[in-house]
A and B are shown apart, each in its own frame.
Chain A
Amino acid sequence: MGATSLGYNPPPWPSTKSTDGRGRGSSRGVNPMNRQLRNALRGLATEDLGRRRRAMEPFVRSTFGLFAKCLYRYLGNEVECEDILEDVYADIWESPDRISPATNEKELVRTVYLYYMRKHLRQVYRRLNRTMALPEGDLLEPVAPQQGILDVISQSEMQEVVHQALGRLKARERRAVEMWSQGLSHRAIANELKTTVGAAKMLLYRTLIKLRETLSEYACENR
């Protein structure tokens, strides 16, 4: 049974069947800030609390999508993203010093993640998981990991990079990752690949490690 017959959406990147993964137009580079965001950041730089509060509206409007997508990577849940972002924006309003030097979107997202989002991510999990076996000190890494070079890739750029990286995988490996990205369970992936669930999990595990190496190479090339 194919993925499309199950009614799942195709992954957001184009099909990799007829490409060597290198031929697409590139949107690489740094995303500059638009004027609205620049003005909002300027408004936040003031010491006047009232003016800073008024500057929050355009700031939220211009950055919500960026920040929500960044958080979604770690949570996979829109409601939790919103709850955390509420606190993050209040923190930014309270002490915007960290974000003032940001000159482009990547820098801004990275700074906000490191200085404003991470502590809230940790707090959420600390609150939700009182019975967790994970010691307090070890909580940070799986819940709110340190950002690597891959983490500063913008959303549009990321889809292209993933597309290119998938193009370098073997057909079976690529199919497994694409099916996972379409929302299929491991059992469905195993059925599709005519193998066992255990073998499908192992294939994905090995493929993701391989994919990570390819993505790292890309990130190093474009640093």
Chain B
Amino acid sequence: MRKSTYEREPQELLADYADALRDGRVPRFLRALTRREAKAVVDGEELGQAMETVRILNQASFADKAVMPDMGLFIARVDAKIAWRLKHGKVHTGAHRRGEVPSADRAGDGSQRL
């Protein structure tokens, strides 16, 4: 059956969304929506409520089982991102806007690690 001619009922949409959320593949679910289904997802009050409950159940049931990363590595990744922003001058602080922090100082900060 062609995707464009097949419109899923709300309960089928919910079942597919619930499975997608549980399996971590929400983008695939969203990509498979037809325009009418997308409208049902956005406008359907009952469907919206059921989807909200699915999200809560997903968190209550599975969030504790999620495998968390090595915290040291993750912090290093965050720090690298901060360093990148410092280096490329993408930081907008109040002090910077007022011209109180010279760019040389900011470059110095960028070379330090946590």
A residues in contact (CB < 8 Å) with B: 9, 11-13, 47, 49-50, 53-54, 56-57, 60-61, 64-65, 68-70, 72-78, 80-82, 85-87, 89-90, 93-95, 125, 128-129, 131-135, 138, 141-143, 145, 148, 150-151, 153, 155, 158-159, 162, 177, 180-183, 185-186, 198, 201-202, 204-205, 208-209, 211-212, 215
Contacts and interface: CB of A to CB of B under 8 A. Distances in A.
Interface in B58-99: 58-69, 71, 74-75, 77-79, 81-82, 85-86, 90-95
A182 to B, nearest CB: 8
Contacts of A151: 56
Contacts of A77: 24-26
Given A53-B79, A61-B75, A77-B24, A208 B53 contact: yes
Q: Is the interface of A mostly helix, strand, loop or mixed?
A: helix
Given A61-B71, A77-B25, A201-B12, A72 B58 contact: yes
Nearest to A183: B22
5 contacts: A12-B61, A64-B71, A134-B33, A138-B39, A143-B30
Contacts of A134: 30, 33, 38, 41-42
Among A85, A155, A208, A211: residue with most chain B CB under 10 A: A208
A209 B34 contact: no
A131 B77 CA distance: 31
A100 to B, nearest CB: 13
Interface residues of B, number: 69
A121 B2 CA distance: 30
A168 B31 CA distance: 36
A129 B12 contact: no
Interface in B35-49: 35, 37-39, 41-42, 46, 48-49
B82 A53 contact: yes
Contacts of A185: 19
Given A56-B75, A133-B33, A208 B91 contact: no
A137 to B, nearest CB: 9
Contacts of A11: 60-61
A141 B40 CA distance: 12
Given A68-B66, A138-B42, A211 B27 contact: no
Given A60-B75, A186-B15, A78 B56 contact: no
A209 B53 contact: yes
Given A47-B94, A68-B66, A87-B81, A205 B10 contact: yes
Given A145-B52, A205-B15, 13 more contacts: A47-B93, A53-B109, A54-B114, A78-B67, A90-B81, A90-B82, A134-B30, A134-B41, A138-B42, A142-B41, A212-B49, A212-B50, A212-B53
